[in-house]
Amino acid sequence: MPRIWKYFLFLLLFCFCQNNLLAQNETQRKIDSMNNILKTAKEDTTKAITLARLSWDLNTVGEKIKSREAAEQAIKLSKKLNYKIAEAPALNTLATLDFQAGNLQAAMDKYNSCAKMNEEIGNKLELGFNMNNIGNIHYVKNEFAEAIKYYKLALTAYEEVGSTKWIAQTYNNLGSTFEVQGNYPEALKYLFTGLKKLRETGDKDLTSIFYLNIGNIYLNMENYTEALKNYQRYRSVAQEIGQKEYILGAYGAIGRLYEKQGNYSEALNNFSVALKGFIELGIKSLIAKTYASIGSVYLHQSKYTEALKEYTAAVKICQEIGASEDLADSYTNIGDILSRQAALENNFEARIKKYNEAIQVMNKGLSLAKNTEAKGNIRDAYRVLSDVYKGMNDYKKALEYNNLYVKMKDSLMNNETTRKLEQQRIQYEVEKSVEEEKLQSADAVEQQKTENKRKNELLLAGLAILAIIIFFISLLIRQQNLKRRTVEKAETGHKMAELELQSLRAQLNPHFMFNSLNAIQDLILKEDNERSHLYLSRFSKLLRMLLDNANQPFVSVKQELEFLELYLSLENLRIPDLQVSIEKDPKINMEERMIPNMMLQPYIENAIWHGLSNKKTNRKLQVRIHDNGSSTEFEIEDNGIGRKKAAELKKLYRQGHHSKGMELLSKRFNLMSNEYGASIHTTVTDLENN
């Protein structure tokens, strides 16, 4: 599903200059003014730069044909005048038009030419635009390393001219790229840095895109609550600025979230709203993608007739606009649906007929997928064809397509195949050289002897070269295998660390609940019915909050404090004279600053149960939060009886009890430091003499 919507983000970014109706009206006034200037303009540089600016504004208001015509006129006149200051922006408009139309290679070539011109004339801002758009093309082509390279080049250009808005947008692009690679910590680093930059500009367009990307990361992490929050923020900002494309995009994103959760009714509701809006706007590519998304939901529900109807609608539009890759994807899904319908047929002839329909559709999709080099579609087509032939009891073809599926899944560019091709090429070159020498020496015996010698030398040289190439290819394969094993080992270590962290969090929660239930038992034994009822009610609310955050390794400081305040209100029922104060550093953004989930509560619980509960009066607990530059400092201070006295009481009254709270936290912090590179230090100081 994310692949279907990948292009949508870039359609949004290209709408950046179309913030609202007022902006479009202003652009239209500029267009009218420039057209009036051109009526009487001479064939000079003024006309060239006016045509270049006009071409961009025409594209902004959707006049793509006129935009292309104006850009071509500007380029023709600029070449005649050797005026690159106008030629570069006109060529940039043509590249953007190609990108929007899906002509990626043509767009890439034009952006590269444009970048060279801007470098020559010293226009760093436009150079940054070119680098960013080249990065976008690599992103769409799944060439993520190249995309990151060009985004960083764009960032350098923007920083030289101090363009805060475009620096922030490039951070967004970098965050999106690391997100699709699964590197969520790096993605969040760039996204949060970009959001910080946006506070300087107040740019709500780009702020909404950041929310969308943060929501996508939480969706991938299966943190659906946070994903939904960010998608709703994205939609809220879009509604505020009046960007209908963004609003509809939010419905699409929320629909994908519900689909992933298995809440298909809500997914369909959101996709239906998005589809209606895209139809009103006439954005055919997104209409087709939304039909396919609805079809996917019906396919999950095994509603094959409804799914077939949606995918058929998507196919019709894809054929109309020439969207080959999406068309191949829809054909593959239609073939899958027909195959599943065939398997449900009781009548043999009807079943075979349905399977044959599936084969016809799959062959269309496979042909398109091969033409567009869409490896994922090719792989899926092989899988479905294998299932179809298996259903027809043609096990030979089923096995054939299954083998193709496995090969495509593993790797299309096999190192062994590359080595053999290189051997055949070298052998051909050697044989060709020997044959040429033989033909040239056919006239004389002495020449024949000389050329036989040369033939042997050439053959030996060829064999030596072949041996060297084989050696280096073997070395390369060995290095790649070592690298792969290293990556697999690192991934295994990462998974083990995550599982151990989850295990520790799972141990902390029962530890906390055990102590809370002890407090309730204490009140019941004292026959304090009113307070025990109130304690139990608040405990259930606290438990709900605990469960909501159970799978989140990190929460905001604000969330942690809300949890603590509820917990302390419970302890106030048990210890009415407990005096608690929480001091917050105003420099800290409590909603954005993240800390490990349930980090503070065990320390506060320890202070109350072991230090303050054994004291008769004047029980005080202070929590202080400071911004210490590159870190956040939390201080918890109590005026209890002290650890030494608490240990003595424990020996007297709680023999055999072993407290695990702080021990578990210590293990958890060590793991988190190793896994996330976070530096978490804790110290316990005994306060004496007041």
Q: Over the stretch 363-421, which tens digit does the pLDDT of each residue have?
A: 988 888 787 666 777 888 888 888 888 888 888 888 888 888 888 777 433 434 433 43
pLDDT at 239 over 80: yes
**DSSP conformation letters of 183-224:** -HHHHHHHHHHHHHHHHHHT-HHHHHHHHHHHHHHHHHTT-H
Residues 6+ positions from 288 with CB-CB distance below 8 Å: 313, 314, 317, 318, 321, 323, 326, 330
- Measured in degrees and rounded to the nearest 5, phi and psi for residue 415 equal -60, -35
Q: What average pLDDT score do residues 581-589 get?
A: 88
pLDDT at 95 over 70: yes
Q: Bridge partners of 627? A: 632
pLDDT of 15 reads 43
**Tokens in use for 501?**
């962290």
CA 650 to chain centre: 52
- Measured in degrees and rounded to the nearest 5, phi and psi for residue 303 equal -95, 80
Q: Is 494 exposed, middle or buried (0-12, 13-18, 19+ CB in 10 A)?
A: exposed
Contact indicator for 673, 657 with CB cutoff of 8 Å: no
pLDDT at 529 over 90: no
pLDDT at 11 over 70: no
Give percent above pLDDT 90 in the chain: 11
Q: How far is CA 553 from CA 52, 498, 617, 676, in A?
A: 52, 9, 38, 11
- pTM, whole model, 2 decimals? 0.46
The pLDDT mean for the chain works out to 79
Contact indicator for 507, 660 with CB cutoff of 8 Å: yes
pLDDT band (50, 70, 90) for residue 324? confident
Q: What average pLDDT score do residues 211-237 get?
A: 85
pLDDT of 689 reads 67
- The structure tokens 């970009």 sit at 194
Degrees, nearest 5: CA angle 144-145-150: 95
Q: Which of 61-70, 297-306, 678-687 has the lowest mean pLDDT?
A: 678-687
Q: Of the candidates 608, 516, 498, 600, which has an alpha carbon nearest to the alpha carbon of residue 555?
A: 600
pLDDT of 432 reads 41
pLDDT of 653 reads 58
pLDDT band (50, 70, 90) for residue 543? confident
Q: Residue type at 1? A: M
pLDDT band (50, 70, 90) for residue 443? low
Give percent above pLDDT 70 in the chain: 83
Q: What average pLDDT score do residues 33-45 get?
A: 84
DSSP single-letter state for residue 527? T
pLDDT of 646 reads 75
Rg (CA), the chain: 34
pLDDT of 17 reads 38
Q: What average pLDDT score do residues 462-482 get?
A: 82
pLDDT of 154 reads 92
- The structure tokens 């935009």 sit at 67
Q: What average pLDDT score do residues 547-555 get?
A: 76
pLDDT band (50, 70, 90) for residue 8? very low
Express each pLDDT in 297-314 by its tens digit. Answer: 998 899 999 999 999 999
pLDDT at 272 over 90: yes
pLDDT of 433 reads 44
Express each pLDDT in 510-523 by its tens digit. Answer: 656 777 777 778 77
Express each pLDDT in 129-140 by its tens digit. Answer: 999 999 988 887
The rounded distance, in Å, linking the Cα atoms of 367 and 449 is 54
pLDDT band (50, 70, 90) for residue 103? confident
**Tokens in use for 111?**
């952006």
Express each pLDDT in 169-184 by its tens digit. Answer: 899 889 888 887 778 8
Other residues' Cβ atoms within 10 Å of the Cβ of residue 470: 14
Q: What average pLDDT score do residues 42-58 get?
A: 87
The rounded distance, in Å, linking the Cα atoms of 674 and 663 is 17
Q: Residue type at 182? A: G
pLDDT band (50, 70, 90) for residue 7? very low
pLDDT band (50, 70, 90) for residue 428? very low
Element (H, E) at 577: none
pLDDT at 502 over 80: no
The rounded distance, in Å, linking the Cα atoms of 640 and 611 is 4
**Tokens in use for 146?**
């190249």
